[in-house]
Structure 1
Amino acid sequence: MENQFNSNFFGEEDKIDVKQIVRQYLSHWPWFVIAVVVSMLSAYIYLRYAPRIFETYSKIKVLDESEGLELPTSAFVFNRSNINLENEIEIISSYLIMERVVRELNLNTVFYEEGTIQTKQIESLPLDYNQIIKPDSISKTLSYKIQVTDKGFQVINIDTDKVLKFKGHSTYTQNHNLPFNVKLNDQIPLSDIVDTAYNIVFTTVKEATLSLKSRIVVEAVGDRSDILKLSIKGESKELSEKTLNTLTTVFNNDGIKDRQLVSERTVDFIDNRFHFLAEELDSIEIDRQEFKQDNRIVDIQTDAQIGIEQRTKSEEEVFALENQLELSKLLTNSLTNQTESDLLPANIGIENVSINGLISDYNTAVINRDKLIRSGGENNPMVQLAIAEVQNLKSSIDRSLKAYSAQVTASLNQLKTKNRRLAGRVSQIPEQERLFKAIDRQQKIKESLYLLLLQKREEAAINLAITEPSIKEVELALSSMRPISPKPTIVYAGALLAGLLIPFGVLYLIFMLDTKLHSKDDIAEVTTQIPVIGEIPDLRKKKNIIFNDPNDRSPLAESFRILSSNVDYVLPVKEGEKGKIIYCTSTIKGEGKTYVSLNLSLALSSINKKVLLIGADLRNPQIHTHISEDKQKPGLSNYLHDVDYNWQDALISGFDKHPNHRIILSGSIPPNPAHLLTNGRFKKLIEEAREIYDYVVVDTAPTILVTDTMLISQLADVTIYITRANYTEKNLLKFSKDLSESGKLKNMAYVINSVGASKSQGYGYNYGYNYGYGSADS
């Protein structure tokens, strides 16, 4: 039986119910009708008074600049086009070209003719108009209105509302500070324009140029064509045609001027270069002559050979002197470091006869001294004389070596100076050769440049004489016979579409932003594993919302009878006849938890079952409000707190027509509800009540902020989770789903309260959880 019930409630997999969606939108059909009527009416008014826009276009062919007369080149031989259409498009739509068109046509002055409702732009006034103010003098937008009467003109400054009246249909008859003069055109009868108003708007040249630049469209005709299409959209066909024709003329003249300017500058440049080239060629010849004279060059190769020989000889002399200097240093060191008995080396290469003689005499004196010392002793007068002679010779040799070294050093310095001179001269030879070749190369370059410029001068002169147009006009400006805007078919279709989409979009946003629960389909979107066993209708406008009479046949009574019947299906089948424990809980305050638990207990009692309703919401009890009892009347909290208190002493019979129905109120609000519910006495109460009553309905606390319900959830046979249509947030369903899947709530089933509360799916409820608890023990 249980499986059969679950299969009926779970249903099949989620499917999109198109009929339901259509029905949901069609329920608001008056808004669609109103939106369509308003949009179609708006479209009619728009088409009636919208300005008519015409498209004007012209076509031009850009001519190749290389088609002028010039000497053959590779591009000419292979007939390659030099036209870059992208560049031409950028040029023709450039600010400079557009500004010239604006100045030529005076487009910064715009004329309008006022109608009864519509004001349209015209090419010119049907009057003789003379503008006084210069275009460059206009620094801001100026607006004037000319009203033509049978007596004269009335000119109004729209910016300042200043009014000037002129008699005789001419502004020339009196002094004024207007930026223009007008008078009646003799070709146009006064009756055609009387009681008509015309507006004149002056804008800056820059503003008019940018406006024209944004309106002109230039595009190529085909991928491989040299033809460009110019188009513009505007109210006045005459003005648009004149604008495109003027643009074509300005662009053509600009191209011709550019070609002529290039040729003229080319000729002038070449003429000036001829004069300089002649002077430069003469200067190069003079530089060549002076270079040879200044560097004393006859022939660079011969001069180089002589310089190298002289340098080689000089380097050999430097080497010889450096040897003599080194030998002198060696003798000086030997003379300084030797003992008195040492001899000096003789004939080692010193090229000084005096020094060599002194060394020979010194060595003879040393030998003689040593002999006398060995034969007569050191104190012998002869020995003393020999020692003195050795010392004198040694001093003479030292002085001679110093003098010779100084002489050799001086000669070496002079020779090195001469050698550096020779080396510098030899080293300059490559540079002189390079400079000379540079002079020679410059002479050849100038000669070839002279010939090239002469050729180019002839080409430029010929092209200047036969300059052709830069473009060819394929089609002059033509305007469409019918306006391109507005198009009635598109406007009406768009209006119809807007009339349908706007209310649809608004409703779609309303539905999309709706986060409230409305039906069991919303629960099925979150979970199909938890059944929905009841939908309680919205009876908030009814005064009697309690199932007082067991024989009541009201929708309220029937809905709770159905709920009580469905509860039996989800209750587990157990052996024995003990009572069933039914928990009623919800996510947040205000979802009707107490309301459903009370009426469910009464519905069960109406079928002659003994029922006990326990108010287990110890934090915010509400049962007493439905039976007019004191909130502080002893109840569950007193029993849980006082071990000597008998719970049967707290039983209340709140409904006379339900003799099998009893209530235990919550009692005094305790400071520690979670502790009381888990001290074991609540479990004892449930076990004892199960023996006496067929059903025990427990009104528990909401689950989102307090854990009271989860602490005692395992005692329940079934947990009825109350939700409220148009009040419960859909995302809170995930919280309840997690409680069921995690086993925190046992054998859970949903009940939806206040179904059908608002057909428009109202949003009058406040979001969040405002349960009003002082504390939440866990």
Structure 2
Amino acid sequence: MDNTDILAEKLDFTYKKEEGPSDVRGLIALCLNYWYVFALSIIACLIAGFIYIQYSPNQWSILGKVIVEDEQGTPEKALTNGLNSDLASLFDVKSNADNEVKILKSTSLINRTVAKLHLNIHVLDNNGWKSFEIYDNSPISVSIDYKRKDIRLSNFKIAILSNTTFRIKNSKEDLDIISEFGKPIQLSQYNLTLNKTDKFKPSGYYKLNIQSRKQAAKDLTDNLAAGLDDKQATVINLQLSYENPDHGERILQTLMEMYLQSNLSNKIRKADSTMKFINARLLVVGDELGKVEKNLEQYKVQNKISDINAQSKALVEGANQYQSKLNDNSVQLAVVNDLYKYVNDANNPQVVPSSLITKDVAFGTAINAYNEMLLRKEQLKLNLTDNSTIIQNLNQQIELARKSLMASIKNYRNSLEVSQQAFKKQNSFIENKISDAPVKERIYLDYSRQQSLKQDLYLFLLQKKEETAISQNATMSSVRILDNAESSEKPFAPKQSLIYLIALFAGIFLPATGLSIKEMLNIRINSKADIEKHTSVPLLGEISRNTNRNKLLIYNDFRSIVSEEIRAVRTNLKYVTEKGKSNVILFTSSMSGEGKSFISLNLGNSIAMSGKKVVLLELDLRKPRLLKNMGVENDHGFTNYVISNEEESIDNLIKPSTFNENFFFISSGPIPPNPTELLMHDRLKTLIEELRTRFDYVIIDSAPVGLVSDALIIEEFVDITCYVVRQNYTYKSQLGIVNDLHKSKKAKHLYLIVNDIELKKNSITGYGHGYGNYGYGYEGIEEKSNGLTSIFNKTKEPTT
């Protein structure tokens, strides 16, 4: 490795090995540069949050509890010995309490609540800056005569003009009329009538919102929550979210009361079914009893029988004992036959009265279990259709229970028939013994037995009718209200702390996101990190922005920050050039306007002021503007030197500067039609070699290498190539040209110089470091800083 490479490595350590800012730190620095944007964004978002809180309606939580009574003693529970409950808990099968939760949110119950309380009609107070629903204090009441079932949402503005008149507006229906209280207003969907209440005031502004009952039911369902504390509990918690706490309490309380009424009506229907069956049987049995008594009366009159009991008293007493048993058996058999006909109708399952069976408790329990299934099916049909899987499964269970019940009835009837045959056989035996008794007595006994049988059956039905009537009047619901509807002390929404927190986050997030997107879309070099990320070429120096655009020669202003940075570049050149020999330095860039001519001019002047002889050779043959802008004549220069046939003296090309005795110029001359061919001429080499013998530094200002190849032709005669890039001007993609020149060795000892760095930025990103912070008093530097920037500056280690 030669000496220049060693020196370059030293320079590389100074500028490249310094720890660069991380992406997070760069983002923080970017945010600090735009702190005012964040401040305005946070203030705007907090104001928006405040406005949202003020205009958002308060939401109150209304709570209530309903308990479903534990029916451990019901026939169904007794029949299954609690097995169904245990299996439901084991396999997470919905219990009866879960079904009650569904009923509480059923469409039918919600619709009845909406219709009863007119929840599709809302009157709002519009006298302040915020509209809110009024309930008990409403000055007007609304009466609607619907013309059709489905109506669309309508919003009316009402202004009360006097004690008798008001003005109503609706822009969608093109309605703006003055009407009187109590007079119907003909509309397309309904007839609307406004009436005064006891809270009426002869002035004020109000809003009237009318929606369909279907939509009101949907809104109520969305705001209503019902659930169980746990799987084993039967307490149902109800919660309603509503804008008006008093109105919400009434809605929830009404919903719970209507639910209790619905549950009680199911119990009453069961008792009504039993009563209907008993009344029908009383009519039949009463008619039969009347016929038997009439036949007995006619027989006694015809045969003149008054007291037949005195005859054969002993035999009669024995016959009566077995006859009593036969009568009881016949009553039960008659009831069972009627129940069999009642249950046998599969197309019309009905509730079966179980209280008629008195001697077989298990048989009565089976009937009650069958009745409970029928009632549960009717409750589920409030929310489910007949095609629902739950209804179909329950239908199958009911059918199996019905068939099982019919089988039980048959078995019970068979047992009764067997007993009856035994009783008859025993009676026949006794009758054979008293065969000698008068025939009239036997006939009389037959009539008496028929009368006794019908009379017992009739009395039994009367007894059950009274019991059913008492049960019907004393029926209680299996559910009850545990806690009445009660609203919370404070509204739960809107939550001010959460809204302000979201607004604060949005105030930070929105500008941060916008700046991040801006940085991602930035395709130009903006910071030192952009250069280090896209190229490994060493950085020779950094030049700040020239605030005086019309002044090309800056170095003579010793108090200028740019002149100080030019001196820094001059110092760095000592590390990358060889001492004791003339050095040729080439300046190029990616495109025009990046400041290579400005830097080459001021750097040459700076070196010349240190006592070195410097010549500036302008070889941008396509757009030679530097020396022309300096006031140097460009009528004779390099172009004339190359195309002249005679050996022209170099002394004729060299022009002294007017501001520095050690600084000289060689202009480009007239613009040629073939600049590339001129640069390939042998006289360029001769010129540079001659200049090496006369000057300590030869600075060449060439054309941009990103546009033409002129600089690559000159490069073989130079010692150092300085590639100029400009902040917020040079594209990041153009650093690929630098990498190509460096990797392919097309440019020897290639270094970067960054030009036009903004001074107003902070020092966290790697650019924008204000020298004014060091207190040197340079002109053009405003000591702008803030507390956060100072903190980051303190965390940076000093550069050595």
Tell me the TM-score normalised to structure 1 length.
Answer: 0.62
Counterpart contact for 1:580–1:717, Cα < 8 Å? yes
Q: Secondary structure in 2 aligned to 1:179?
A: strand
Counterpart contact for 1:135–1:205, Cα < 8 Å? no
Matching residue of 1:599: 602
TM-aligned CA deviation for residue 103 of structure 1: 2.9
5+ long unaligned stretches in structure 1 = 278-445, 762-778
Q: Answer yes or no: is 1:171 the counterpart of 2:151.
A: no
85-94 or 216-225, larger mean C-alpha shift: 85-94
52-61 or 493-502, larger mean C-alpha shift: 493-502
Q: Answer yes or no: is 1:694 the counterpart of 2:696.
A: yes
For the structure 1 residues 714 and 98, does the alpha-carbon distance in structure 2 shift closer, same or farther, using more than 3 Å as the test?
farther
247-256 or 690-699, larger mean C-alpha shift: 247-256
For the structure 1 residues 548 and 670, does the alpha-carbon distance in structure 2 shift closer, same or farther, using more than 3 Å as the test?
same
* CA deviations over 1:229-271 (Å, ceiling 9, x no partner): 3322221112222333344455566778899999999x99996
CA distance in 2: counterparts of 1:255 and 1:131, whole angstroms? 31
Q: How does 1:391-470 map to 2 (within 5 A)?
A: 452-453=405-406
* CA deviations over 1:644-667 (Å, ceiling 9, x no partner): 564827724262233443333334
Amino acid aligned to 2:344: F
Matching residue of 1:727: 729
Q: How does 1:503-514 map to 2 (within 5 A)?
A: 503-511=511-519, 513-514=521-522
For the structure 1 residues 15 and 623, does the alpha-carbon distance in structure 2 shift closer, same or farther, using more than 3 Å as the test?
closer
Q: How does 1:371-386 map to 2 (within 5 A)?
A: none
TM-aligned CA deviation for residue 584 of structure 1: 0.8
Counterpart contact for 2:679–2:713, Cα < 8 Å? yes
Q: Answer yes or no: is 1:195 the counterpart of 2:209.
A: no
CA distance in 1: counterparts of 2:690 and 2:14, whole angstroms? 35
Matching residue of 1:8: 14
TM-aligned CA deviation for residue 516 of structure 1: 3.7
For the structure 1 residues 137 and 748, does the alpha-carbon distance in structure 2 shift closer, same or farther, using more than 3 Å as the test?
same
CA distance in 2: counterparts of 1:51 and 1:275, whole angstroms? 58
CA distance in 1: counterparts of 2:94 and 2:192, whole angstroms? 45
TM-aligned CA deviation for residue 208 of structure 1: 2.2
Matching residue of 1:207: 215
Q: Secondary structure in 2 aligned to 1:523?
A: helix
Q: Secondary structure in 2 aligned to 1:11?
A: coil
Matching residue of 1:331: none
CA distance in 2: counterparts of 1:196 and 1:471, whole angstroms? 46
Q: Secondary structure in 2 aligned to 1:613?
A: strand
Q: How does 1:130-209 map to 2 (within 5 A)?
A: 131-134=143-146, 136-137=148-149, 139-148=151-160, 151-159=163-171, 160-166=174-180, 170-172=181-183, 179-185=191-197, 188=198, 190=200, 193-209=201-217
Matching residue of 1:537: 544
Counterpart contact for 1:220–1:227, Cα < 8 Å? yes
CA distance in 2: counterparts of 1:472 and 1:107, whole angstroms? 25
Q: Answer yes or no: is 1:746 the counterpart of 2:748.
A: yes
TM-aligned CA deviation for residue 721 of structure 1: 1.5
Q: Answer yes or no: is 1:112 the counterpart of 2:118.
A: no
Quote the RMSD (CA, aligned, Å).
Answer: 4.7
* CA deviations over 1:559-617 (Å, ceiling 9, x no partner): 323322222221245xxx44211111112221111211222222222333232322333
TM-aligned CA deviation for residue 748 of structure 1: 1.8
2:344 to 261, 268, 274: 274
TM-aligned CA deviation for residue 487 of structure 1: 3.9
TM-aligned CA deviation for residue 452 of structure 1: 4.8
CA distance in 1: counterparts of 2:269 and 2:69, whole angstroms? 17
For the structure 1 residues 68 and 562, does the alpha-carbon distance in structure 2 shift closer, same or farther, using more than 3 Å as the test?
same
Equivalent pairs: percent with the same residue? 25
For the structure 1 residues 256 and 526, does the alpha-carbon distance in structure 2 shift closer, same or farther, using more than 3 Å as the test?
farther
Counterpart contact for 2:186–2:192, Cα < 8 Å? no
CA distance in 2: counterparts of 1:470 and 1:638, whole angstroms? 117
Matching residue of 1:388: none
TM-aligned CA deviation for residue 157 of structure 1: 2.7
TM-aligned CA deviation for residue 755 of structure 1: 1.7
148-157 or 592-601, larger mean C-alpha shift: 148-157
CA distance in 2: counterparts of 1:487 and 1:276, whole angstroms? 59
Q: How does 1:287-298 map to 2 (within 5 A)?
A: none
Matching residue of 1:412: none
Matching residue of 1:121: 133
CA distance in 1: counterparts of 2:647 and 2:233, whole angstroms? 106
Q: How does 1:559-638 map to 2 (within 5 A)?
A: 559-572=565-578, 577-628=580-631, 633-637=635-639
Counterpart contact for 1:135–1:204, Cα < 8 Å? no
CA distance in 2: counterparts of 1:194 and 1:4, whole angstroms? 92
Matching residue of 1:406: none
For the structure 1 residues 123 and 746, does the alpha-carbon distance in structure 2 shift closer, same or farther, using more than 3 Å as the test?
same
Amino acid aligned to 2:546: L
CA distance in 1: counterparts of 2:61 and 2:722, whole angstroms? 73
Counterpart contact for 1:54–1:234, Cα < 8 Å? yes
TM-aligned CA deviation for residue 42 of structure 1: 5.1
Amino acid aligned to 2:701: D
Q: Answer yes or no: is 1:477 the counterpart of 2:488.
A: no
For the structure 1 residues 204 and 500, does the alpha-carbon distance in structure 2 shift closer, same or farther, using more than 3 Å as the test?
same
Matching residue of 2:113: 101
CA distance in 2: counterparts of 1:645 and 1:109, whole angstroms? 107
TM-aligned CA deviation for residue 275 of structure 1: 6.4
Q: Secondary structure in 1 aligned to 2:125?
A: strand
Q: Secondary structure in 2 aligned to 1:536?
A: strand
Matching residue of 2:247: 239
Amino acid aligned to 1:153: T
Counterpart contact for 2:69–2:478, Cα < 8 Å? yes
Counterpart contact for 2:554–2:560, Cα < 8 Å? no
CA distance in 2: counterparts of 1:264 and 1:744, whole angstroms? 108
TM-aligned CA deviation for residue 158 of structure 1: 2.7
Q: Secondary structure in 2 aligned to 1:57?
A: strand
Counterpart contact for 2:540–2:753, Cα < 8 Å? yes
Matching residue of 1:717: 719
707-716 or 562-571, larger mean C-alpha shift: 707-716
For the structure 1 residues 252 and 714, does the alpha-carbon distance in structure 2 shift closer, same or farther, using more than 3 Å as the test?
farther
Q: Answer yes or no: is 1:59 the counterpart of 2:68.
A: no
Counterpart contact for 2:62–2:249, Cα < 8 Å? yes
TM-aligned CA deviation for residue 479 of structure 1: 0.8
232-241 or 605-614, larger mean C-alpha shift: 605-614
683-692 or 86-95, larger mean C-alpha shift: 86-95
CA distance in 1: counterparts of 2:215 and 2:185, whole angstroms? 30
CA distance in 1: counterparts of 2:586 and 2:519, whole angstroms? 33
CA distance in 2: counterparts of 1:728 and 1:629, whole angstroms? 29
TM-aligned CA deviation for residue 176 of structure 1: 6.3
For the structure 1 residues 541 and 662, does the alpha-carbon distance in structure 2 shift closer, same or farther, using more than 3 Å as the test?
closer
Counterpart contact for 2:264–2:477, Cα < 8 Å? yes
For the structure 1 residues 141 and 72, does the alpha-carbon distance in structure 2 shift closer, same or farther, using more than 3 Å as the test?
same
Tell me the TM-score normalised to structure 2 length.
Answer: 0.61
5+ long unaligned stretches in structure 2 = 1-5, 278-337, 348-398, 412-466, 764-800
TM-aligned CA deviation for residue 556 of structure 1: 3.9
CA distance in 2: counterparts of 1:590 and 1:693, whole angstroms? 28
Q: Secondary structure in 1 aligned to 2:145?
A: coil
TM-aligned CA deviation for residue 154 of structure 1: 0.6
Q: Secondary structure in 2 aligned to 1:183?
A: strand
Matching residue of 1:217: 225
Amino acid aligned to 2:552: I
CA distance in 2: counterparts of 1:657 and 1:626, whole angstroms? 15
1:69 to 75, 80, 83: 75
